[in-house]
Amino acid sequence: MVAEVTPDRQLGLRWPEVPDWTTSEPMAKDALHDRLLAITLRLPGAYEDRPWGSVHCKVDGKIFVGWGRLEDGTMSVGLRVDPAFQMMLVDSDPRFTVAKYVGKHGGVDMKLGPKPDWREVERFIVESYRLIAKKSRIKELDAPAPRSPRAKPRPASRQGSRASTGAPRRR
């Protein structure tokens, strides 16, 4: 059987080897990664994906947050904010820059320091989720937490309830 000659082969072009992220070694333990993942996976329908080798979290197939380490080792988180809020963040806080590919849609990159304010990080992640997720997912997020399955309290006996309210007994 003769190998088909494609225009790429005629020109001597070779595609670079792409690592298989599905079978490679697991990511080394990273406390910031673990904390970010824990925050995102609590959101309804959220899951981790690594489409380009770096971590991205999606809901219903849409990316709402991603992160990775910069060359200097700093953790950077990419997320969406309201486009009107984007420039205010970038102009007022040196941790924020306009995201490379999704900046026109309100995407920002946030550098995390060695001790991030996790409440702030979580607020940004949840807000990004709200901007990307379907309305049904937002309803799930906003729904009251289900009560834990405990034994139901026993109703007070009629006699006890009258006595405690001071209501006269009927005979």
List the CATH number of the domain containing 115: 3.90.1150.30
Q: Are the C-beta atoms of residues 80 and 132 closer than 8 Å to each other?
A: yes
Write the pLDDT tens digit of every residue in 119-140: 999 999 999 999 999 999 999 9
User: Which residue did the predictor score with more confidence, 9 or 28?
Assistant: 28
Domain presence at residue 21: no
- Report the domain count for the chain: 1
Q: Is 64 helix (H, G, I), strand (E, B) or coil?
A: strand
Domain presence at residue 68: yes
- Partners of 108 in the beta sheet? 79, 98
Domain presence at residue 73: yes
Domain presence at residue 123: yes
pLDDT at 161 over 80: no
Predicted TM-score of the model (pTM): 0.68
Domain presence at residue 125: yes
Q: Are the C-beta atoms of residues 108 and 96 closer than 8 Å to each other?
A: yes
Q: Tell me the residue range of the domain where 61 lies.
A: 26-135
CA 150 to chain centre: 31
The reported pLDDT for the residue numbered 21 is 39
> Confidence class of residue 9 from pLDDT cuts 50, 70 and 90?
very low
Domain presence at residue 66: yes
Write the pLDDT tens digit of every residue in 18-76: 334 344 445 568 899 999 999 999 999 999 988 777 799 999 999 999 999 999 999 99
**Within 13 A of 28's CA, how many CA atoms are on the CB side?**
2
Q: State the average pLDDT over residues 91-109.
A: 93
- Nearest of 119, 126, 90 to residue 106 by alpha carbon: 90
The reported pLDDT for the residue numbered 147 is 73
